[in-house]
Structure 1
């Protein structure tokens, strides 16, 4: 039996922190140390994939079920959702970790929401949703037959964004932006895709006269015809000289793919210089609003139904109505 931890007691068995980096360490000798990087959340994913052991069914604490959820469920989700879930799971573990799963009652969920909601109502709702899904999985896996404590517990009302970006605002930020941010802004505007989907576009995605995109969030596939301004923008990007070749369409001065953090930093700098306050993600809504054709907007953005697109557009530019006379 191994020695008890004296530090980092919150880490699962076999995951160790040494010199600022995480390692999976085997329990048998000679011990094998597998590096998992310095990011705690990614290290937990790596640990889960290596460990893969089924927890003792008699151990019905939240943290045991959360560990199984981490191994079996989270890896099957989209990358962005994975990262969000890992952060959410961390917060839930800090509160419910040692608690028996069936001991979590609706009033506990209400208390969690009330406390968490004091600083982050939207995040509290997401964490409640994850708790609910995890509890349902615990029921499926046989850890409990207790009813889901999240049922009937109302989350916080969220108001969607209603920011419409005018042409003048877009041009003002574009004029102050770095070339690579201009590239991303133009591609986002002309295709209506989310920031993450814009940044992941590779040159190999340009084929057969179209830009082929699989959306991270929904898995929806789109082949956007490369014509008009989109053709001009892609040509402009392709002709720009770089220090080295990159497989990615949106890249920095050194030819490396532009990271979400770098895009945000450069975009924030440009909008501050322009004196404009919209967010990069608002460009997608501008695209939907500016087509003048809800059917076109729906197909371009990849919405499942027209009502979603109509709501998306109406909240930003208002519903067009006729006067009394």
Structure 2
């Protein structure tokens, strides 16, 4: 009969470590499986077992510091499950966080230290500070699971106040911006069509950046996309109905020049799909030029086009689109209607 499995005793272990519950139901021993060689017994003390593995791999000198927790986090299943964009964002957030707290042991960080980081160390970037502390909270959870600390101090401190964006481009201004972009050459015409698609379909950029021709189903008049933010391990597709107003846009998307055999709709001048970072840099440059040339009166982000879609959808159909599982999130984040309309008494 095989050994009884006990998933709880394996939480927080380093890669290649194994928890082995004893038959008494109370004791758990640990061992390490090196890439080459026999398993190494580590005893029954979880903290000591983890320390032995770190020592064997030459990383025990900073055990429990934020630097070490960051390295360990990037080897864990919760990191692997993250999307590529989230991983890249976390790597950016880690730079300032590690510069300030990297050498500090998790055991020494108090809620007051978290508050100081948010309000003093990063007073010039309060929103970015929130994202950095969110990453720190993930690292502290690793420390809790490993037994380094008992409580995550990040959960005891309020984040900086974030004011949601309230602006979205007006239809006339967006139309002028797209028309201006289309007159500047083939590559900027591609970006103009991406902006037009975002404004008419309401999809996140990451959801259609690598859109392919087979995803455009003319027979059923839908564009099939995968929702970027999935929760609970579920996968959710989104079918965007091709309305009569979108038919011209779809025809122009299909007519875009692309290399023979390439099925990607939006490609660079080299015939490759856009990367998220490459597109972002391009968009920032375009927006600066549009403001300098008075094409738009104020800067708007590409993500604001999702808010534009939400606001126009409400004006046209009387309801908000289904962008989130919780409709209140759509209303709070993306509805930027400036005028509220209600009936008076009869």
Is the pair's TM-score, using the shorter chain for normalization, greater than 0.5? yes
Aligned-pair CA distance for 1:298 = 3.0
Given the two structures, how large is their TM-score scaled by the length of structure 1?
0.73
Q: What is the match of residue 328 of structure 2?
A: 307
Q: What is the match of residue 18 of structure 2?
A: none
Q: What is the match of residue 283 of structure 1?
A: 305
Q: Which segment is superposed worse, 312-321 or 207-216?
A: 312-321
Q: CA distance change for structure 1 residues 148 and 59 in 2, over 3 Å: closer, same or farther?
A: same
**Residue 159 of structure 1 pairs with residue 171 of structure 2:** no
Aligned-pair CA distance for 1:117 = 3.0
Aligned-pair CA distance for 1:248 = 1.9
Gapped regions of structure 2 (runs ≥ 5) = 1-56, 182-187
Cα RMSD, aligned residues only: 2.8
Aligned-pair CA distance for 1:237 = 2.0
State the SS of the aligned residue for 1:291.
Answer: helix
Aligned with 1:298 (options 321, 325, 330): 321
Offset from partner CA, 1:247-293 (integer Å, 9 cap, x none):
32122344332341334433543454313322222111111111137
Equivalent pair of 2:199/2:308 in contact (CA under 8 Å): yes
Q: Which segment is superposed worse, 64-73 or 210-219?
A: 210-219
Aligned-pair CA distance for 1:59 = 2.1
State the number of aligned residues. Answer: 270
**Residue 238 of structure 1 pairs with residue 254 of structure 2:** yes
1:2-13 correspondence to structure 2 within 5 Å: none
**What is the CA–CA distance in structure 1 between the aligned matches of 2:303 and 2:175, rounded to whole Å?**
16
**What is the CA–CA distance in structure 2 between the aligned matches of 1:168 and 1:129, rounded to whole Å?**
39
Q: What is the match of residue 213 of structure 1?
A: 225
Q: CA distance change for structure 1 residues 294 and 151 in 2, over 3 Å: closer, same or farther?
A: farther
Offset from partner CA, 1:172-198 (integer Å, 9 cap, x none):
101110311221112111110122323
Q: Which segment is superposed worse, 309-318 or 54-63?
A: 54-63
Equivalent pair of 1:244/1:254 in contact (CA under 8 Å): no
State the SS of the aligned residue for 1:247.
Answer: coil
**What is the CA–CA distance in structure 2 between the aligned matches of 1:315 and 1:54, rounded to whole Å?**
54
Offset from partner CA, 1:28-51 (integer Å, 9 cap, x none):
xxxxxxxxxxxxxxxxxxxxxxxx
Given the two structures, how large is their TM-score scaled by the length of structure 2?
0.69
Equivalent pair of 2:65/2:105 in contact (CA under 8 Å): yes
State the SS of the aligned residue for 1:304.
Answer: coil
Aligned-pair CA distance for 1:246 = 3.3
Offset from partner CA, 1:183-236 (integer Å, 9 cap, x none):
111211111012232322122322363211113334642011234232321211
Q: What is the match of residue 131 of structure 2?
A: 126
Aligned-pair CA distance for 1:160 = 0.4
Q: CA distance change for structure 1 residues 213 and 314 in 2, over 3 Å: closer, same or farther?
A: closer
**Residue 179 of structure 1 pairs with residue 199 of structure 2:** no
Equivalent pair of 1:163/1:316 in contact (CA under 8 Å): no
State the SS of the aligned residue for 1:71.
Answer: coil
Larger C-alpha radius of gyration, 1 or 2?
2
Equivalent pair of 2:201/2:240 in contact (CA under 8 Å): yes
Aligned with 2:338 (options 300, 304, 317): 317
Q: CA distance change for structure 1 residues 74 and 271 in 2, over 3 Å: closer, same or farther?
A: farther
Gapped regions of structure 1 (runs ≥ 5) = 1-52
State the SS of the aligned residue for 2:238.
Answer: strand
**Residue 106 of structure 1 pairs with residue 98 of structure 2:** no
